[in-house]
Homo-oligomer: A and B are copies of this chain.
């Protein structure tokens, strides 16, 4: 709220030094917020996270990094995997095929809601709610096995150490009956594209990958950079797909807080209940880790930090 006004004609200093200072302030702001949230506890493994932990990793097009706090701590990627799954589906099945199996609309319902499936549409509303993400995984499950998908994740995050967290995977699988219900519901409507149990198993595995804030900054810069890896110069994913992903992150990326994030921060982002947030700004990738969550399931520290950064660097997509 304190970020509502600028002085007329304010033009931010976007030198590397200035960015460093602003991120440092943002980091401190974030740290002060951690006590206002708490780690997810729907599976025991997540509840073990240190609620005070916080880290920001920044990476720009030039390959320069700024990092503060817990940027090497491993945590599970959770819902942020939905972004990568969508990217894989766009890359390997294309735009038309992907979006003939899932819609593009925000829902305003909880991320694991099945309400609209039974009242508004047989196809899930978007790829970032559970129903939509499971649907997207069903597009991939008969093309790739887990190892192949893991390779894709590692490349897209530029982190070869990403691996399955077996404990979280087991926990997810044991408590994942609602996701199984969603998969069978999609199957019953004739829209799921692979076996429900196989699909959900791959979905659980892809949610249970151990990443770091640094991995997410890697993911962020690929998206911020039109799909190009800034170190290799190679296009990992086509620019028009990246645009599509970022538009959906803007409208649906932050659970039930997506609209407010769009107003207050205005940078395409996706969060996960493991505490991670990826942001893809104007030529800037951000990865954040703060497991203390608010009621909507977003990292409280990440919100505070990114609101500060967006304001002082004028990164809001609709900044005038």
Taking Cβ atoms with an 8 Å cutoff, the residues of A that contact B are: 1, 4-6, 8, 95-96, 103-109, 113-116, 118-120, 125-126, 175-178, 180-185, 187-188, 196, 224-227, 238-240, 242-244, 246-248, 250-252, 256-260, 262-263, 266, 268, 316-320
Contacts and interface: CB of A to CB of B under 8 A. Distances in A.
Contact of A256 (B105, B180, B185, B257): B105
Contacts of A262: 104, 247-248, 250-251
11 contacts: A106-B108, A107-B107, A108-B116, A108-B120, A108-B125, A114-B118, A180-B181, A239-B320, A247-B317, A317-B317, A317-B318
Contacts of A188: 175-178, 180-181
Closest 6 CB pairs of A and B: A226-B320, A177-B188, A181-B184, A106-B106, A178-B188, A246-B318
Per DSSP, chain A at the interface is helix
B181 A259 contact: no
Contacts of A115: 115, 118-119
Contact of A177 (B4, B177, B196): B196
Count of identical protomers in the assembly? 4
Nearest to A227: B320
Contacts of A243: 263, 266, 316, 318-320
A10 to B, nearest CB: 9
Considering residues A107, A109, A125, A318, which has the most beta carbons from chain B within 10 angstroms of its beta carbon?
A318
Contacts of A114: 114, 118, 185
A263 B247 CA distance: 5
A226 B242 CA distance: 27
Nearest to A316: B243
Contacts of A258: 105-106, 251
Nearest to A187: B177
Given A181-B188, A266-B243, A5 B118 contact: no
Given A105-B259, A251-B262, A252-B259, A185 B196 contact: no
A244 B264 CA distance: 8
A238 B4 CA distance: 10
Contacts of A316: 243, 247
